Structure 1
Amino acid sequence: MTQIPFLDLTAAYRRLQAEIDAALGRVAAGGRYILGDEVAAFESEFAAYLGLDHAVGVASGTDAVMLALRACGVGPGDEVITVSHTAVATVAAIELCGATPRLVDIDAATFTMAPAAFAAALTPRTKAMIVVHLYGNPADMDAIIPIARAHGLAVIEDCAQAHGARYRGRLVGALGDVAAFSFYPTKNLAALGDGGAVATNRPEIADRLRQLRQYGWRERYISEIPGTNSRLDELQAAVLRVRLRRLDEENDARRRLAAAYTQALAGLPVTTPYARPDDKHVYHLYVIQTERRDALQAHLTRQGIGTAIHYPVPVHRQPAYLRLGYGPGSLPATEAAAREILSLPLYPDLPPEAVATVAGAIASFLAG
């Protein structure tokens, strides 16, 4: 039986082993392991890639969202609007600030925030909004940002799944007030462990972020504001510098594989990913939809093909968040997606012939 894993994290390491090993050795021999030259260099290089003035390395993507919110002044008593169809980290970060999440529905085609749902969720307590560029597909920022600006809200982009994606020619992460990135090992820009960054053009936000990530310090051991310990370490920064140089070419490989999937699945009763013509989707995940999702996933598993569901239970229906008061049917597009979505194998080193095998297995199931 052919075995096609959903993801092979070792493939990129094997391809880049010489460079990654050299980077790790350089850090080990250098003797500076926290907030040293590698972090500073990566922050500069990543900011330049985004076309922004500042990038601040932190410990994880969750911390990146939380610290972005705190740097924008979000705290207890405030409400933050975001989607329920996201990794739970987005919502957890809001509550880590002491704020209250207000969850809204998605556009059924793009799986990103529905602008009308965002507008309908505004209250006098709304302080900020988090727009999630899910699966590598940019949200409709030209529809969303004017609503936020009209109500004086901070716009935080959650770019954890969208490194290098473009909205109408502009890189995501450079469209709002501040952007949060994750470098978790599965991401398009991946470390060998946890890591994150917050990027912005606003110097006052960047300055506050640098304080918040290290106990509120400007001067060592003197906390001017309450902070935390959330620092990107030198080893991960060194790896990320290697991976950043390959980000665009790896995203191009993802796009080629996604196009092959879309062509191979054409004419079958499944919905393939939608991208607006002027946008550049970077396919962190290739997600199809079918009402027969569970049976299809079981069939593919029997064929030795790995799949996943991102995400099987929306945040508003998870046990920890039922207290927010969103009942069944309250976010219909989100709940429909959770019943029907299936993520297929896709990563830059996936052999092209694997796409044909997966598509063939899907076709055989649907023909049965």
Structure 2
Amino acid sequence: MKPFDPYRLDRKLMRAAARETRALKAAGPAAYRAALEKSFASYLGRRYCLLTDSGRTALRLAVLALRPGGGTAAFPDITHPSLAEAAEGFKLLPLDIDPRTLNLSETALKKAAPGLDLLLLPHMFATPAPIEAALRLARRHGFAVIEDASQILGGALRGRKYGSFGDIGVLSLSPYKPVSSPFARAGALLCDSPEIYKKLLALNPPPPKPQALPFLKLKLARLDATLETSRAANAVYRAALKDYGRYIPAGISPKTQEFPLLIPDRAGAEKIFKAAGVPLERIYKPLRLEKKLPGVLPVADEYWRSALHLPAWPLMTAAECRRAAALVKKHLDRFKTAPAPTPGKKFPPPSYIALDLTYRCGLDCSFCFVKRHGLAGGRELGLAGWLKLIKDLGPGAKKFYLTGGEPLLAPFLPQLVKKLNALGHSSLVTTALFAPAAAAAALAKAGPGEIVVSVHGWPALHERSAGAPGAWKTALRNLELIKKRRAPGTRLTLWCTINSANHARLHRVWKTLKALGPDGIAFNHLEFCSEKDLAATQGLLEGAGLSTPMKSSAGLAKGIDAKVLAAEISKIKAEAGNSVSFYPDLPGPALRAWYSPGARFKKSGFCRGQFSAAWLSPSGQLLTCQPLAVKIGGPETYNGPAYAAFRKLLIKNGGFLPACRRCGREPYSSAGRA
């Protein structure tokens, strides 16, 4: 058996294909193709199917049938070039992707939707794109949707097959896809509308070569079994890389044929694979770069810098998957400790910037760092001060994390968000919404990329955690205001900190949050520091001439039963799947260690935030981060001696200080992601 053979299934089916070829000759190509088209339509639950000579042809015909007059066509920046080529003559609009799924970002689509005539929406990596949201926006704004289900053929959403949602569904049936022929390319067009079907027929779609048809028939009949072999390969990868989960995008399907990772130094990994003779799957160059289109799309750029695709082809053996995974681990183990900065080296301007706009807040949460460290009080910058500081932080598109305290108490927040939008930056605002209704409405209208609202349970439990009577009623009023008045493209996420009051009923908490109708839900594991870890950290910092106001907080974990919590999390994941995030996402043993203050919770990698992010206090002081709150100086000290000393201290101590063991914050917990 040839190792790492993408055509293994084809070789297995050769004899059966020979028998089917005889049947094709007996029936005649046209009749055989017509019967196969009915099989495809039936499998996907569509009324009509037309087979053609390639997926590229299918895409172009779909565009001509739906929008012959042209207009503006959008597609995700990370996809096959044929999607952009199919919309030749249109104004092309690539959109950014979701870092969890590597598919089209729903937030980006919402912003673009009012100006679209056509959306080409592929499901990349067998992972669902936001098709339902796309259809809602299409009905509202009048654009057509071409759904490319080539990489997700066989997948379904609530019993309905992907490829059956768009105005037209398109399939590329090119070699070594789950349904394909090794001898010739093919494509398919699927629809339900008689009018659209007539338009497609009028375009005279060229049929596939007859020799492709027997394999298409055989592989469609056994598609579910084929997908199980891809699932098995994915499962082996996930098991082999269980300690490297931070490199696997959280929302990627367990059935994908190309297992994507986002890693540091991809070129180094490619050399290791080449030397071992192990093939890798293709990486998608952003279409914006390939077609020389305008735009700044940071998530797509991050994918292009760091993506590595492992093969997960049908009938791959577990041994082959383990071999590929071993090569990945060999590469990634180089990054368990960050490379030491060379003397005098300057880091590029930070791409992620957290602004503590104010430390004022009407809540009294026991797990709040601001309260615990005594950070409140002192000078606060106004809008002009923040804008000057943002300029001083250097060029490039950045992601801004606007937080506090309660940032809604900063009266200039809406103006700051609008300014960041105008400068091409993205922004995320955290809030407990314990503020006047006018402030919430103004924020919604300003249009940040995401609003993250802290909600810690049902009404009584939320107010108990927040330590403020009336917190639920005020938050709910403001939440409804934001849902009604938010700008197109603003994502609404509900955020819950796991604590002693809610951990044993977390499933009920999730149901409460889900009923509020957010776009996403996230749980943050309680962050705390033991006396021992704090003392060790203080000693290390003093040796470098630095200090931290951090206080011991192990008592916060008292009463949290990790076994009960693990069961609650399992129930949530079983029902919610990838729609809910946990920061960090901990397997059972790690979860027990996290909530055992006496245990030494181990973290591999290094704190990426200290090399690519900046955190600033309300007065504009540069901090290492809010949890540790080591003061560095003004923004100009990002590459100064004090920060260099802190970074070297991190590297010398394995990438994290002892007090950082139970930090779940991105990017500060994204160990090893350079």
TM-score range relative to shorter protein: 0.7 to 0.9
Q: 2 CA distance for matches of 1:100 and 1:106? A: 19
* Aligned residue among 250, 255, 261 for 1:274: 250
Residue 311 (structure 2) aligns with: 345
Q: Distance in 2 between matches of 1:172 and 1:363?
A: 34
Asked whether 1:171 is paired with 2:140, we answer no
Q: Corresponding residue for 1:152?
A: 142
User: Which amino acid in 2 is paired with 1:315?
Assistant: L
Among candidates 18, 21, 24, match of residue 21 of structure 1: 18
**Does structure 1 retain, via aligned residues, the 8 Å contact 2:172–2:187?**
yes
Q: 1:273 to 1:259 in 2, by over 3 A?
A: farther
| Alignment partner, residue 59 of structure 1 | 53
CA distance in 2, matches of 1:303, 1:129: 41
Q: Normalization by structure 1: what TM-score? A: 0.85
Decide whether the 8 Å contact of 2:99 with 2:249 is kept in 1: no
* Aligned-partner SS, 1:22: helix
Separation in structure 2 between the aligned mates of residue 208 and residue 40 of structure 1, nearest angstrom: 18
1:1-368 to structure 2, matched below 5 A, reads 4-5=3-4, 7-9=5-7, 11-28=8-25, 32-33=28-29, 36-72=30-66, 74-95=67-88, 98-124=89-115, 126-192=116-182, 193-212=184-203, 214=204, 230-268=206-244, 271-275=247-251, 282-311=255-284, 313-318=285-290, 321-322=291-292, 324-326=293-295, 330-368=296-334
Moved more, 232-241 or 189-198: 232-241
Q: Which residue of 2 aligns with 1:221?
A: none
Structure having greater relative contact order (Cα 8 Å, sep ≥ 6)? 1
Q: Deviations over 1:90-126 (max 9, x none)?
A: 111111xx322211111011011111211222354x2
Q: Report deviation, 1:143.
A: 2.4
Report sequence identity in percent.
25
The list of structure 1 runs, each at least 4 consecutive aligned residues, that deviate by more than 6 angstroms after superposition, is none
Letter matched to residue 286 of structure 2: P
- One-letter code aligned to 1:141: I
| Superposed CA offset, 1:216-271 (max 9, x none) | xxxxxxxxxxxxx5222332222211110111110111011101101110112652
- Equivalents in 1 of 2:188, 2:279: separation in Å? 30
> Per the alignment, do residues 248 and 269 of structure 1 end up closer, same or farther by CA in structure 2, a change over 3 Å counting?
closer
Which moved further from structure 2: 17-26 or 294-303? 17-26
Query: What's the secondary structure of 1:42's corresponding residue?
Result: helix
* Alpha carbons 2:103, 2:128 under 8 Å: kept: yes
The amino acid that maps onto 2:178 is: N
Over alpha carbons, which structure has the higher Rg? 2
CA separation of 1:275 and 1:169: change in aligned 2, threshold 3 A:
farther
* Matching residue's letter, 1:175: F
The offset of 1:273, in angstroms, is 4.4
User: Structure 1: any 5+ residue segments left out of the alignment?
Assistant: 215-228
What RMSD in Å do the two structures reach over aligned CA positions?
2.0
Amino acid corresponding to residue 52 of structure 2 in structure 1 = V
Cα offset for 1:75? 2.9
Aligned residue for 1:267, secondary structure, equals: helix
Distance 1:243 1:71, change over 3 A: same
Q: Is contact 2:257–2:311 with CA below 8 Å preserved after alignment?
A: no
Would the aligned equivalents of 1:270 and 1:288 in 2 still touch at CA under 8 Å? Answer: no
Task: Give the Å deviation of 1:202.
Answer: 1.3
Distance 1:247 1:206 in 2: 26
Normalising by structure 2, report the TM-score: 0.47
State the 1:28 CA deviation: 4.4
